[in-house]
Structure 1
Amino acid sequence: MHKTLVPMLGGTVLACAGITADAQEVTLYGEIDTGVAYVNNVGGRSQYRSTSGLIDGSFWGLQGTEDLGDGNAAIFRLERGFSATSGQAFDDHPFYVGLRSERMGTLTLGWQYDTMHDYFAPYVLTGGAGGTAFAHPFDNDNANNSWLASNAVKYESATYGGFSAGAMYAFSNAAGRFAQNRAYGFGAHYDGGPFNAGVAWMHIDGRGVSTVGAYDTSVLPGAGFAATEVTVQREDTLGAGASYTLGDVTLGAAWSRSIHTGISQADDGAPLPSIAFSNYEANAVWQVTPATSLAAMYAYTDASSAHWHQAAVQADYQLSKRTDVYTEAIWQRASSGAFAMINTNDASSGRSQLLVAAGIRHRF
């Protein structure tokens, strides 16, 4: 998927190595997250495995800013994900260039996170402290940003009285087929000090039906609700969330609904039933000490003919400003006839699945 980005990024790294410091700032940064995990049921067997990116996907990146004067700047961001255990490269981080104005906001163009990531994900634990394994089933609302948008033009406003908003349009890039595999969405955020809230909506036409369009194929339930790679003729996702901070504790609640119609298996085009997911989550993060935090969540996902309960806890300890260690446990229970499948894992042979893990994360 989008493998042509590899040589482009390599060339960019070489070019940036020769940049001289003038009115421009270029930063090299990244993160490595790896650990070990036990899963009680993967296809009917227990599993012990090494992990990469169980909270945050490991990656490295370059970002730069050039001062254009009068509060304006040119910006870029280039990131590349990878597995710290196998070395495999992933296209799960953004590439973009744009302009930023203190008064007018920011306009960017490239391979980017969508509005669900920007305005909804901060209110669910998969988009914050909990990370990857805390995603809702099949990451159906993309709160864990499993998919980024190609050919995307995105605008984010400046903040006025605590309010900010944004919009994104991702082109199909197909000649004569403007609406084939295109996407657009909107979002808004309110920062009221201890109280924060956000809302987001994304629409996709013909998802995955072409290789040059906005989004790759999705993963949704197939036969027996097992994960299946699919194309989707129409996809609409709406999410809203809020959080409130009381001293050292932040409480959060979120709701999302994703509707997928015109679904076909990606490999042979066989039609599958339409499906809609409703996700309800309550979560909390407690900063016990400056170095220690605890996080917990409960989520219920209803897909009409199936549903899932998911509960998770996590403890994190900061060894330094850049390095922390963590341990977490996630349990998922599916309804009769469906499989449990915690994000990052293959499906259970039955209705329940438990993941217990520990890891270390370093930022540079």
Structure 2
Amino acid sequence: MKKSTIFSLLCCASSMTFAQSSTNVSIYGILDVGVDRVSNVGGNSNTLVNTGVLVPNLLGFRGSEDLGGGLKAIFKLETQFALDTGATIGINGTSEGMWNHGAYVGLEGSMGKVTVGALDDFMFSNLSVKRYGFGAMFPFVSLTFLRQGPFANLSPVGSFDFDRTALTSRVSNAIRYDSPNIGGFNFGALYGMGEQAGGKNRNSTYSLGADYASGPWTFTAAMISAKSPLINNGDDGLTSWGIGGRYDFTGGISTDFLYTNTKNTFTNAKIDVYEVGAIMSPTPTTRLIGQYTYMKGNDVLDSNKAHQINAGLHYLLSKRSNVYVQFSYQKASGDDTTAKAQLMLMGPSSGGSQNVLRVGMFHAF
């Protein structure tokens, strides 16, 4: 796969830690590879080896230094690559950049955390990471579970990850603040500078997020406004906002819900998304996940819509390794010319339906 995916924050697992005085540096990585069978891409079926679908293939370095008084310096450097070819995958879909999946330095203390660099926005960190939850639904939600659909006219680059919940891009030249936890409540803000002399806010990005967790409930909210040099010369772009949540039952069952709204501020093209899902543990070493998504475009997008069903079964070989089978199906309708089903990254179908069956393996170190 040539795009980055939903689960960069999953990389918290690390196997090597170096300590000198009050300084700690960790090396970590995650790997995913599998075989996909796609029913229809341009009228033909296809079988291919794909990597970075369940999670991105990453190698990263993280560190912190205790500065005293409850304050510490922090950093992260993270690169993404294709496991089948070894090629690096560039930031925001380009082929450039060694630390293409995120890089920052910052300070963290009792008043919160401030980071500067190429950063994740709150549509991902709140509506995906915190909504799914570590140990609850991560890392079992595949890239193909997320959104693309029959909305190619949304922007000049199509509709790939249109609501940004899959982290297919980070915000460059950004400053981000994350609050400390205040009775279960967190909030934050991010600003990405457009760096255009005389261009006011051209090519700039801002994002806000908030979440609250109490007992089995988690509620999340986020928004982003990202101006693009490809839309009205950088004076317009895509805005998205969403609300979501999760409820954790006893016995290893979790349910989640999500609503997002995405709009092209230049053309007024708009997509509404409604999603519900659940995960359960039939045995201590298995995870079964199911999800339903409904996407609806407005008249600028030919009133196209899509229903999508996703399912997955994971067998845990250990805490760091699992094998899995996943299936996704999408049914699109609307305009006869543009309502072409498309699951994430698989290429558009020649008609209104597409499905993909994947058998894969995941490992973290």
Q: TM-score, normalised by structure 1?
A: 0.83
Which residue of the partner structure matches residue 133 of structure 1?
144
Which residue of the partner structure matches residue 356 of structure 2?
355
Q: Work out the CA distance in 2 between the residues paired with 1:129 and 1:359.
A: 12
Q: Work out the CA distance in 2 between the residues paired with 1:86 and 1:346.
A: 20
For 1:1-364, list aligned pairs within 5 A. 21-90=20-89, 91=91, 93-101=101-109, 103-122=110-129, 123=131, 129-137=140-148, 138-205=160-227, 207-209=228-230, 233-247=236-250, 248-262=252-266, 273-304=267-298, 305-336=303-334, 337=336, 338-364=339-365
The answer to whether the 8 A contact 2:57-2:81 is kept is yes
CA 127–291 in structure 1, closer or farther in 2 if over 3 Å, else same: closer
- Following TM superposition, by how much is the alpha carbon of 1:234 offset from its aligned partner in structure 2, in angstroms? 3.2
User: In the alignment, residue 76 of structure 1 is paired with which amino acid?
Assistant: F
Q: Work out the CA distance in 2 between the residues paired with 1:132 and 1:75.
A: 29
- Following TM superposition, by how much is the alpha carbon of 1:109 offset from its aligned partner in structure 2, in angstroms? 0.3
User: In the alignment, residue 185 of structure 1 is paired with which amino acid?
Assistant: S
- Following TM superposition, by how much is the alpha carbon of 1:274 offset from its aligned partner in structure 2, in angstroms? 3.6
Could you give the per-residue CA deviations for residues 311-344 of structure 1, whole angstroms, max 9, x where no partner exists? 0001111101211111100001111331111002
Secondary structure of 2:273's partner?
Answer: strand
Structure 2 unmatched runs, 5+: 1-15, 92-99, 149-159
Q: Work out the CA distance in 2 between the residues paired with 1:153 and 1:56.
A: 26
The answer to whether the 8 A contact 1:33-1:56 is kept is yes
- Following TM superposition, by how much is the alpha carbon of 1:35 offset from its aligned partner in structure 2, in angstroms? 0.7
Which of 160-169 and 123-132 deviates more? 123-132
Q: Work out the CA distance in 1 between the residues paired with 2:165 and 2:224.
A: 12
Secondary structure of 1:133's partner?
Answer: helix
- Following TM superposition, by how much is the alpha carbon of 1:128 offset from its aligned partner in structure 2, in angstroms? 5.3
CA 310–124 in structure 1, closer or farther in 2 if over 3 Å, else same: farther
Spell out structure 1 runs of 4+ moving beyond 3 A: 122-128
Q: Work out the CA distance in 2 between the residues paired with 1:289 and 1:75.
A: 39
- Following TM superposition, by how much is the alpha carbon of 1:235 offset from its aligned partner in structure 2, in angstroms? 2.1
The answer to whether the 8 A contact 1:157-1:164 is kept is yes
Q: Work out the CA distance in 2 between the residues paired with 1:318 and 1:254.
A: 27
Which of 278-287 and 230-239 deviates more? 230-239
Q: Report which structure shows greater RCO (CA 8 Å, sep ≥6).
A: 2
CA 279–128 in structure 1, closer or farther in 2 if over 3 Å, else same: farther
Could you give the per-residue CA deviations for residues 255-313 of structure 1, whole angstroms, max 9, x where no partner exists? 00001132xxxxxxxxxx54101000000011222221111100000002100111000
CA 312–20 in structure 1, closer or farther in 2 if over 3 Å, else same: closer
CA 297–124 in structure 1, closer or farther in 2 if over 3 Å, else same: farther
Secondary structure of 1:258's partner?
Answer: strand
Could you give the per-residue CA deviations for residues 77-117 of structure 1, whole angstroms, max 9, x where no partner exists? 1100111012221136211110011x211100000110101
Could you give the per-residue CA deviations for residues 229-269 of structure 1, whole angstroms, max 9, x where no partner exists? x978232111100111111210111100001132xxxxxxx
Which residue of the partner structure matches residue 96 of structure 2?
none
Which of 230-239 and 289-298 deviates more? 230-239
CA 275–139 in structure 1, closer or farther in 2 if over 3 Å, else same: same
CA 128–360 in structure 1, closer or farther in 2 if over 3 Å, else same: closer
Q: Work out the CA distance in 2 between the residues paired with 1:130 and 1:252.
A: 12
- Following TM superposition, by how much is the alpha carbon of 1:47 offset from its aligned partner in structure 2, in angstroms? 0.3
User: In the alignment, residue 80 of structure 2 is paired with which amino acid?
Assistant: G
- Following TM superposition, by how much is the alpha carbon of 1:45 offset from its aligned partner in structure 2, in angstroms? 0.5
User: In the alignment, residue 118 of structure 1 is paired with which amino acid?
Assistant: S
User: How much identity, in percent, do the aligned residues show?
Assistant: 31
The answer to whether the 8 A contact 1:117-1:127 is kept is no
User: In the alignment, residue 260 of structure 1 is paired with which amino acid?
Assistant: N
Q: Work out the CA distance in 2 between the residues paired with 1:64 and 1:47.
A: 42
- Following TM superposition, by how much is the alpha carbon of 1:139 offset from its aligned partner in structure 2, in angstroms? 1.6
Q: Work out the CA distance in 2 between the residues paired with 1:33 and 1:120.
A: 23
Q: Tell me which protein shows more strand as a share of its residues.
A: 1
What value does the CA root-mean-square deviation take over the aligned residues?
A: 2.0
User: In the alignment, residue 341 of structure 1 is paired with which amino acid?
Assistant: Q
Secondary structure of 2:54's partner?
Answer: coil
- Following TM superposition, by how much is the alpha carbon of 1:178 offset from its aligned partner in structure 2, in angstroms? 2.9
CA 151–325 in structure 1, closer or farther in 2 if over 3 Å, else same: same
